[in-house]
Amino acid sequence: MLPNLILIGFMGCGKSSVGRRLAALTGHRFVDTDEMVVQSEGQAISEIFAAKGEAYFRDAEERTLGNLVGVCGIVLSTGGGAILRESNRALLKKIGIVAWLDKDPDLLFERASRSGKRPLLQTGDPRASFDELLNSRLPLYKEAADIRLDVGAMSIEEVAQALLDKALRHHHML
């Protein structure tokens, strides 16, 4: 059976849409750590950040990942900062094949800033905050990833197919 697939990458790289498509392609169940945190906390992500702070959110995110170890048959989409803690990077490896959706910074910023729902970009200079966050995280995505795909301007369908292909090859090489 195909192992679990985990999508990591910066805000706006398309983890949720690609994850849903991958789940449909593989028959796996789609799971999203942000959605699980929203459910367990009973609050939107932006409300959690505003009321309780980022560290509280990160603890909830880590608990959510911990609860997924041992669960089979899932495609897991993670929040862009899920790779920040070393403990989380170890949990991701235990859960399944970790796939990094990499994308050109300008395209990422355009998508990430569009929704207005991302607390880490609600600053006086969203582009500067974005650049700083992205640069500090790139080495961590690289470290956490088993496979990487430069998604460029590919469609959701193309990304899902290409990732599945790479994941299968990676699985057979294990």
Residues that bind ligand S3P (CB under 6 A): 11, 15, 34, 45, 79-81, 118-120
At closest approach, how far in Å is the CB of 167 from ligand S3P? Answer: 20
How far apart CA 11 and CA 6 sit, in angstroms, is: 15
- Closer of 80 and 96 to ligand S3P (Cβ): 80
At closest approach, how far in Å is the CB of 97 from ligand S3P? Answer: 19
How far apart CA 43 and CA 40 sit, in angstroms, is: 8
- Closer of 45 and 92 to ligand S3P (Cβ): 45
- Closer of 73 and 119 to ligand S3P (Cβ): 119
How far apart CA 1 and CA 167 sit, in angstroms, is: 12
The per-residue b/e assignment along 22-53, b for 16 or more CB within 10 angstroms, e otherwise, is bbeebebebbbbbebbbeebebebeebbeeee
Task: Report angle CA 106, 146, 93 to the nearest 5 degrees.
Answer: 115
At closest approach, how far in Å is the CB of 137 from ligand S3P? Answer: 8
Closest by CA to 156, choosing from 74, 44, 77, is: 77
How far apart CA 84 and CA 10 sit, in angstroms, is: 11
Asked whether the beta carbons of 69 and 62 are under 8 A apart, the reply is no
At closest approach, how far in Å is the CB of 47 from ligand S3P? Answer: 11
Closest CB to ligand S3P belongs to which residue?
79
At closest approach, how far in Å is the CB of 173 from ligand S3P? Answer: 28
- Closer of 58 and 171 to ligand S3P (Cβ): 58
- Closer of 2 and 120 to ligand S3P (Cβ): 120
